[in-house]
Amino acid sequence: MSMPPTVYPPFPHSQRGAASVAIAFLVLLVIAAALATALSLSGSVVRDAAMSEEQAEALFLAESGIERTAQRLSGTACASLGTEGPFTLGSGSFSVVAPAPYIDTGLCRVRVSGTVRQVTRTVDAWLSSGGGTITVDSSGSSNAITTSLSFAHTVGTTAGVTANILLVGVSADNANAAPIVKYNNLTLTQLIQAGNGVGNPGAWIYYLLNPTAGNHNVVVALSNQDVVAGSVSFYGVSTSNPFDVAAVAAIQNNSTSISRPITSATAGAWVFEVVASEGGKAISPNPLQGIQAVRWNLRQNSVTGAASTLGAVSSAGTTVTPAWKTDGNDTVKWAQAAAALRPGGGGGSPQLMRWSEVVN
Protein backbone atom coordinates (compact mmCIF):
# COMPACT_ATOMS: atom_id res chain seq x y z
CA MET A 1 0.00 0.00 0.00
CA SER A 2 1.59 3.20 -1.10
CA MET A 3 2.24 5.92 1.39
CA PRO A 4 1.23 9.47 0.55
CA PRO A 5 4.17 11.90 -0.07
CA THR A 6 5.51 13.79 2.84
CA VAL A 7 4.47 17.39 2.71
CA TYR A 8 6.47 19.91 4.75
CA PRO A 9 4.70 22.93 5.96
CA PRO A 10 5.84 26.20 4.42
CA PHE A 11 7.98 28.69 6.37
CA PRO A 12 6.01 31.10 8.18
CA HIS A 13 5.76 34.44 6.37
CA SER A 14 7.93 36.19 8.96
CA GLN A 15 10.82 33.72 8.44
CA ARG A 16 10.78 34.16 4.65
CA GLY A 17 11.04 37.93 5.13
CA ALA A 18 14.04 37.68 7.47
CA ALA A 19 15.94 35.48 5.02
CA SER A 20 15.37 37.96 2.21
CA VAL A 21 16.63 40.81 4.33
CA ALA A 22 19.75 38.84 5.28
CA ILE A 23 20.52 38.04 1.65
CA ALA A 24 19.97 41.64 0.61
CA PHE A 25 22.23 42.83 3.43
CA LEU A 26 24.98 40.45 2.34
CA VAL A 27 24.66 41.67 -1.23
CA LEU A 28 24.90 45.26 -0.04
CA LEU A 29 28.00 44.44 1.99
CA VAL A 30 29.65 42.88 -1.05
CA ILE A 31 28.74 45.88 -3.20
CA ALA A 32 29.96 48.33 -0.54
CA ALA A 33 33.27 46.46 -0.20
CA ALA A 34 33.70 46.47 -3.97
CA LEU A 35 32.93 50.19 -4.13
CA ALA A 36 35.36 50.94 -1.28
CA THR A 37 38.11 49.00 -3.04
CA ALA A 38 37.38 50.75 -6.31
CA LEU A 39 37.36 54.16 -4.64
CA SER A 40 40.61 53.38 -2.84
CA LEU A 41 42.28 52.32 -6.05
CA SER A 42 40.87 55.33 -7.83
CA GLY A 43 42.15 57.65 -5.08
CA SER A 44 45.57 56.05 -5.26
CA VAL A 45 45.69 56.54 -9.01
CA VAL A 46 44.60 60.15 -8.61
CA ARG A 47 47.23 60.76 -5.93
CA ASP A 48 49.93 59.09 -8.02
CA ALA A 49 48.91 61.17 -11.01
CA ALA A 50 48.99 64.36 -8.95
CA MET A 51 52.38 63.43 -7.47
CA SER A 52 53.75 62.68 -10.94
CA GLU A 53 52.51 66.04 -12.18
CA GLU A 54 54.09 67.84 -9.23
CA GLN A 55 57.37 65.99 -9.81
CA ALA A 56 57.37 67.15 -13.42
CA GLU A 57 56.50 70.73 -12.43
CA ALA A 58 59.25 70.80 -9.80
CA LEU A 59 61.82 69.64 -12.35
CA PHE A 60 60.62 72.31 -14.79
CA LEU A 61 61.08 74.94 -12.08
CA ALA A 62 64.61 73.69 -11.40
CA GLU A 63 65.32 74.04 -15.12
CA SER A 64 64.04 77.63 -14.89
CA GLY A 65 66.64 78.24 -12.20
CA ILE A 66 69.35 76.88 -14.49
CA GLU A 67 68.18 79.18 -17.30
CA ARG A 68 68.29 82.20 -15.00
CA THR A 69 71.82 81.30 -13.89
CA ALA A 70 72.94 80.95 -17.52
CA GLN A 71 71.58 84.42 -18.28
CA ARG A 72 73.46 85.90 -15.33
CA LEU A 73 76.64 84.07 -16.33
CA SER A 74 76.66 86.01 -19.62
CA GLY A 75 77.78 89.12 -17.75
CA THR A 76 79.07 87.80 -14.43
CA ALA A 77 82.01 85.66 -13.43
CA CYS A 78 81.04 82.26 -12.08
CA ALA A 79 82.71 82.96 -8.74
CA SER A 80 80.58 86.10 -8.36
CA LEU A 81 77.25 84.27 -8.60
CA GLY A 82 75.46 84.00 -5.27
CA THR A 83 72.48 82.23 -3.78
CA GLU A 84 69.12 83.52 -5.00
CA GLY A 85 65.43 83.03 -4.47
CA PRO A 86 62.98 81.67 -3.96
CA PHE A 87 61.34 83.05 -7.11
CA THR A 88 57.64 82.30 -7.56
CA LEU A 89 56.62 80.84 -10.90
CA GLY A 90 53.14 79.40 -11.48
CA SER A 91 52.13 77.20 -8.57
CA GLY A 92 55.69 76.75 -7.28
CA SER A 93 59.08 78.41 -6.92
CA PHE A 94 62.77 77.90 -7.71
CA SER A 95 65.99 78.85 -5.92
CA VAL A 96 69.75 78.81 -6.40
CA VAL A 97 70.46 76.80 -3.28
CA ALA A 98 74.21 76.08 -3.42
CA PRO A 99 76.18 77.86 -0.68
CA ALA A 100 78.10 79.37 -3.60
CA PRO A 101 78.34 78.33 -7.23
CA TYR A 102 81.78 77.00 -7.96
CA ILE A 103 84.12 76.20 -10.81
CA ASP A 104 84.53 72.54 -11.69
CA THR A 105 86.87 71.33 -14.49
CA GLY A 106 86.50 74.53 -16.42
CA LEU A 107 82.72 74.76 -16.16
CA CYS A 108 80.54 76.82 -13.85
CA ARG A 109 78.69 74.42 -11.57
CA VAL A 110 75.54 75.55 -9.78
CA ARG A 111 72.89 73.82 -7.64
CA VAL A 112 69.22 74.79 -8.10
CA SER A 113 65.92 73.48 -6.74
CA GLY A 114 62.29 73.62 -7.84
CA THR A 115 59.40 73.23 -5.41
CA VAL A 116 55.69 72.57 -5.98
CA ARG A 117 53.68 72.20 -2.77
CA GLN A 118 55.36 69.33 -0.90
CA VAL A 119 57.59 68.17 -3.78
CA THR A 120 61.16 69.50 -4.26
CA ARG A 121 63.66 68.43 -6.90
CA THR A 122 67.29 69.56 -6.74
CA VAL A 123 69.69 69.56 -9.68
CA ASP A 124 73.43 70.20 -10.14
CA ALA A 125 74.10 71.86 -13.50
CA TRP A 126 77.40 72.44 -15.30
CA LEU A 127 77.40 75.50 -17.59
CA SER A 128 79.96 76.49 -20.18
CA SER A 129 81.41 79.96 -19.82
CA GLY A 130 80.36 81.02 -23.30
CA GLY A 131 83.91 82.17 -24.00
CA GLY A 132 83.60 85.10 -21.63
CA THR A 133 84.71 83.61 -18.32
CA ILE A 134 88.19 82.52 -17.30
CA THR A 135 88.46 79.49 -15.03
CA VAL A 136 91.48 77.70 -13.60
CA ASP A 137 92.14 74.25 -15.00
CA SER A 138 95.01 72.77 -12.95
CA SER A 139 98.40 73.57 -11.47
CA GLY A 140 101.67 71.88 -10.56
CA SER A 141 105.02 72.84 -9.00
CA SER A 142 108.45 71.63 -7.95
CA ASN A 143 111.71 72.86 -6.42
CA ALA A 144 115.35 71.76 -6.69
CA ILE A 145 118.94 72.75 -7.27
CA THR A 146 119.55 71.54 -10.78
CA THR A 147 120.24 72.38 -14.39
CA SER A 148 116.95 70.82 -15.50
CA LEU A 149 113.88 70.89 -13.27
CA SER A 150 110.97 68.70 -14.43
CA PHE A 151 107.45 68.15 -13.09
CA ALA A 152 104.12 66.91 -14.46
CA HIS A 153 101.20 69.10 -15.47
CA THR A 154 97.83 67.94 -16.77
CA VAL A 155 96.02 70.17 -19.26
CA GLY A 156 92.34 69.31 -18.99
CA THR A 157 89.50 68.93 -21.46
CA THR A 158 85.84 69.32 -20.47
CA ALA A 159 82.86 68.85 -22.76
CA GLY A 160 85.18 68.93 -25.77
CA VAL A 161 86.87 72.18 -24.70
CA THR A 162 90.59 72.15 -23.79
CA ALA A 163 92.27 74.65 -21.47
CA ASN A 164 93.74 77.18 -23.87
CA ILE A 165 96.71 78.74 -22.10
CA LEU A 166 99.52 77.43 -19.89
CA LEU A 167 101.52 79.79 -17.67
CA VAL A 168 104.78 78.80 -15.99
CA GLY A 169 106.37 80.84 -13.22
CA VAL A 170 110.06 80.46 -12.35
CA SER A 171 111.88 81.81 -9.28
CA ALA A 172 115.67 81.56 -8.98
CA ASP A 173 118.35 82.85 -6.65
CA ASN A 174 120.21 84.52 -9.52
CA ALA A 175 118.68 86.60 -12.29
CA ASN A 176 121.77 86.51 -14.47
CA ALA A 177 120.34 84.17 -17.11
CA ALA A 178 116.79 83.43 -18.23
CA PRO A 179 115.71 79.79 -18.19
CA ILE A 180 114.37 77.84 -21.15
CA VAL A 181 110.93 76.40 -20.44
CA LYS A 182 109.16 73.61 -22.33
CA TYR A 183 105.91 71.70 -22.04
CA ASN A 184 105.54 68.42 -23.93
CA ASN A 185 108.76 69.42 -25.77
CA LEU A 186 107.17 72.69 -26.97
CA THR A 187 109.09 75.85 -26.03
CA LEU A 188 107.16 78.48 -24.09
CA THR A 189 107.44 82.20 -24.77
CA GLN A 190 108.94 84.44 -22.10
CA LEU A 191 106.46 87.15 -21.15
CA ILE A 192 108.34 89.01 -18.45
CA GLN A 193 111.41 88.95 -16.25
CA ALA A 194 111.74 90.69 -12.88
CA GLY A 195 115.22 91.13 -11.43
CA ASN A 196 118.63 91.15 -13.02
CA GLY A 197 122.24 90.37 -12.30
CA VAL A 198 124.22 87.88 -10.28
CA GLY A 199 123.29 87.82 -6.62
CA ASN A 200 119.79 89.16 -7.19
CA PRO A 201 116.68 86.94 -7.20
CA GLY A 202 114.81 86.62 -10.46
CA ALA A 203 111.15 85.90 -11.29
CA TRP A 204 109.90 84.97 -14.77
CA ILE A 205 106.54 84.25 -16.42
CA TYR A 206 106.32 82.09 -19.55
CA TYR A 207 103.25 81.11 -21.58
CA LEU A 208 102.02 78.68 -24.22
CA LEU A 209 98.76 79.11 -26.11
CA ASN A 210 96.59 76.05 -26.87
CA PRO A 211 98.79 73.54 -25.00
CA THR A 212 98.43 69.84 -25.72
CA ALA A 213 95.76 68.19 -23.60
CA GLY A 214 96.78 65.46 -21.20
CA ASN A 215 99.56 64.81 -18.70
CA HIS A 216 102.99 66.02 -19.84
CA ASN A 217 106.16 67.36 -18.25
CA VAL A 218 107.12 70.97 -17.72
CA VAL A 219 110.90 71.21 -18.06
CA VAL A 220 112.83 74.25 -16.82
CA ALA A 221 116.47 74.40 -17.97
CA LEU A 222 118.83 76.98 -16.44
CA SER A 223 122.31 77.35 -15.03
CA ASN A 224 123.09 75.43 -11.87
CA GLN A 225 121.25 77.31 -9.10
CA ASP A 226 118.41 77.07 -6.63
CA VAL A 227 115.08 77.23 -8.43
CA VAL A 228 111.36 76.92 -7.78
CA ALA A 229 108.91 76.58 -10.65
CA GLY A 230 105.21 75.94 -11.12
CA SER A 231 102.49 75.98 -13.74
CA VAL A 232 98.82 76.91 -14.07
CA SER A 233 96.52 76.30 -17.04
CA PHE A 234 93.29 78.18 -17.73
CA TYR A 235 90.09 77.91 -19.73
CA GLY A 236 88.44 80.84 -21.47
CA VAL A 237 91.44 83.10 -22.15
CA SER A 238 91.52 85.11 -25.38
CA THR A 239 94.03 83.46 -27.71
CA SER A 240 94.18 86.46 -30.06
CA ASN A 241 94.97 88.93 -27.25
CA PRO A 242 95.61 86.90 -24.10
CA PHE A 243 97.01 89.60 -21.82
CA ASP A 244 94.66 92.23 -20.47
CA VAL A 245 97.41 94.74 -19.68
CA ALA A 246 101.14 94.85 -20.15
CA ALA A 247 102.85 92.59 -17.64
CA VAL A 248 104.47 94.38 -14.73
CA ALA A 249 107.60 93.68 -12.76
CA ALA A 250 109.19 95.00 -9.63
CA ILE A 251 112.42 94.53 -7.72
CA GLN A 252 113.14 95.88 -4.28
CA ASN A 253 116.17 95.68 -2.03
CA ASN A 254 116.13 95.51 1.74
CA SER A 255 112.42 95.12 2.39
CA THR A 256 110.19 92.98 4.59
CA SER A 257 107.22 93.20 2.24
CA ILE A 258 106.66 92.37 -1.44
CA SER A 259 103.89 93.96 -3.52
CA ARG A 260 103.12 95.30 -6.97
CA PRO A 261 99.69 96.70 -7.96
CA ILE A 262 98.19 95.78 -11.32
CA THR A 263 95.07 97.35 -12.86
CA SER A 264 92.82 95.32 -15.13
CA ALA A 265 91.42 96.74 -18.34
CA THR A 266 88.65 94.16 -18.72
CA ALA A 267 85.95 92.85 -16.43
CA GLY A 268 86.50 89.20 -15.61
CA ALA A 269 90.31 89.36 -16.00
CA TRP A 270 92.56 87.10 -13.92
CA VAL A 271 95.95 88.09 -12.47
CA PHE A 272 98.85 85.64 -12.25
CA GLU A 273 101.90 86.65 -10.22
CA VAL A 274 105.24 85.07 -9.31
CA VAL A 275 107.62 86.02 -6.49
CA ALA A 276 111.28 85.24 -5.82
CA SER A 277 112.72 86.02 -2.39
CA GLU A 278 116.38 85.65 -1.48
CA GLY A 279 117.79 83.66 1.39
CA GLY A 280 115.11 81.00 1.44
CA LYS A 281 113.12 83.00 3.97
CA ALA A 282 109.52 81.86 4.52
CA ILE A 283 106.94 84.25 3.10
CA SER A 284 103.16 84.44 3.29
CA PRO A 285 100.38 86.53 1.66
CA ASN A 286 99.98 89.99 3.19
CA PRO A 287 97.01 89.70 3.39
CA LEU A 288 95.38 86.91 1.38
CA GLN A 289 92.75 88.71 -0.68
CA GLY A 290 89.27 87.33 -1.20
CA ILE A 291 89.87 86.46 -4.86
CA GLN A 292 93.45 85.26 -4.33
CA ALA A 293 94.52 81.62 -4.36
CA VAL A 294 98.10 80.59 -3.56
CA ARG A 295 99.27 78.12 -6.23
CA TRP A 296 102.61 77.26 -4.65
CA ASN A 297 104.95 78.53 -1.94
CA LEU A 298 108.21 76.58 -1.79
CA ARG A 299 111.69 77.12 -0.39
CA GLN A 300 114.89 75.79 -1.93
CA ASN A 301 118.04 76.73 -0.02
CA SER A 302 118.75 80.32 -1.04
CA VAL A 303 115.45 81.13 -2.77
CA THR A 304 111.76 81.08 -1.92
CA GLY A 305 109.41 80.91 -4.89
CA ALA A 306 105.69 81.55 -4.66
CA ALA A 307 102.82 82.27 -7.00
CA SER A 308 99.13 83.08 -6.81
CA THR A 309 96.14 83.82 -9.00
CA LEU A 310 93.61 86.57 -8.34
CA GLY A 311 90.29 86.35 -10.13
CA ALA A 312 87.95 87.08 -11.41
CA VAL A 313 88.47 90.85 -11.27
CA SER A 314 84.95 92.24 -10.99
CA SER A 315 85.17 95.24 -13.32
CA ALA A 316 87.44 97.08 -15.73
CA GLY A 317 89.80 99.51 -14.04
CA THR A 318 90.01 97.46 -10.84
CA THR A 319 93.43 97.48 -9.16
CA VAL A 320 94.60 94.44 -7.23
CA THR A 321 97.84 94.21 -5.30
CA PRO A 322 99.24 90.74 -4.74
CA ALA A 323 101.37 91.22 -1.64
CA TRP A 324 103.65 89.02 0.49
CA LYS A 325 105.72 89.48 3.63
CA THR A 326 108.59 87.65 5.26
CA ASP A 327 107.31 85.60 8.17
CA GLY A 328 110.04 86.76 10.54
CA ASN A 329 110.07 90.36 9.34
CA ASP A 330 113.45 89.64 7.76
CA THR A 331 114.76 92.19 5.30
CA VAL A 332 115.31 90.54 1.92
CA LYS A 333 115.86 91.22 -1.74
CA TRP A 334 112.95 90.14 -3.89
CA ALA A 335 111.51 90.19 -7.40
CA GLN A 336 107.90 89.96 -8.52
CA ALA A 337 106.32 89.51 -11.96
CA ALA A 338 102.61 89.80 -12.68
CA ALA A 339 100.30 89.63 -15.69
CA ALA A 340 96.54 89.96 -16.23
CA LEU A 341 94.74 87.51 -18.49
CA ARG A 342 91.98 88.75 -20.80
CA PRO A 343 88.75 86.72 -21.12
CA GLY A 344 88.05 85.31 -24.56
CA GLY A 345 85.14 86.67 -26.56
CA GLY A 346 82.84 85.47 -29.28
CA GLY A 347 82.17 82.17 -27.61
CA GLY A 348 78.41 82.59 -27.59
CA SER A 349 76.05 82.37 -24.65
CA PRO A 350 76.69 79.99 -21.75
CA GLN A 351 75.30 76.55 -22.46
CA LEU A 352 74.11 73.71 -20.25
CA MET A 353 76.74 70.99 -20.75
CA ARG A 354 75.35 68.36 -18.36
CA TRP A 355 73.19 68.02 -15.26
CA SER A 356 72.58 65.52 -12.50
CA GLU A 357 69.70 65.28 -10.04
CA VAL A 358 70.66 65.38 -6.36
CA VAL A 359 68.91 62.59 -4.46
CA ASN A 360 68.28 63.55 -0.85
What DSSP line would sit under 161-226, residue for residue? EE--EEEEEEEES-BSS--EEEETTEEPEEEEEE--BTTS-EEEEEEEESPPSEEEEEEEEEEEEE
pLDDT of residue 210: 94
pLDDT top residue among 47 and 307: 307
Q: Which of 125-139, 202-216, 287-301 is predicted with the least confidence, judged by mean pLDDT?
A: 125-139
Q: Angle at CA 276, nearest 5°, toward 273 and 279? A: 155
Pairing outcome for strands 92-96 and 84-89? antiparallel
Q: What is the dihedral of CA 286, 290, 291, 296, to 10 degrees?
A: 40
The dihedral region occupied by 301, where left means phi > 0, alpha psi between -120 and 50, and beta the remainder, is: left
Element (H, E) at 110: strand 107-116
Sign of CA dihedral 294, 298, 303, 305: negative
pLDDT band at 126 (very low <50, low <70, confident <90, very high): confident
Task: Write the CA distances from 286 to 79, 81, 248, 298, 324, integer angstroms.
Answer: 22, 26, 19, 17, 5
The candidate with the shortest Cα–Cα distance to 345, out of 232, 268, 246, is 268
pLDDT single digits (tens) 191-243: 999 988 788 899 999 999 999 999 999 999 988 889 999 999 998 888 888 99
Residue 246 has pLDDT above 90, yes or no: no
pLDDT at 128 over 80: no
Neighbours of 180 (CB within 10 A): 14
Q: What is the mean pLDDT of residues 37-51?
A: 52
Averaged pLDDT, 98-121: 74
- Please determine, for residue 99, whether its predicted confidence score (pLDDT) is greater than 80: no
The pLDDT of residue 40 is above 60: no
| Tens-place pLDDT, residues 158-176 | 767 888 999 999 999 988 8
- Over residues 143-159, the pLDDT tens digits come to 988 888 999 999 998 76
What is the average pLDDT score of the chain? 81
- One-letter amino acid at 27 equals V
Percent of the chain with pLDDT over 70: 78
Are 178 and 190 contacting, i.e. CB atoms less than 8 angstroms apart? Answer: yes
pLDDT at site 176: 85
Q: Does the structure show a pLDDT above 50 at 80?
A: yes
More confident residue, 8 or 87: 87
Is it the case that residue 103 has pLDDT exceeding 80? no
Query: Please, which pLDDT band fits residue 22 given cuts at 50, 70 and 90?
Result: low
CA angle 194, 303, 253 (to 5 degrees): 50
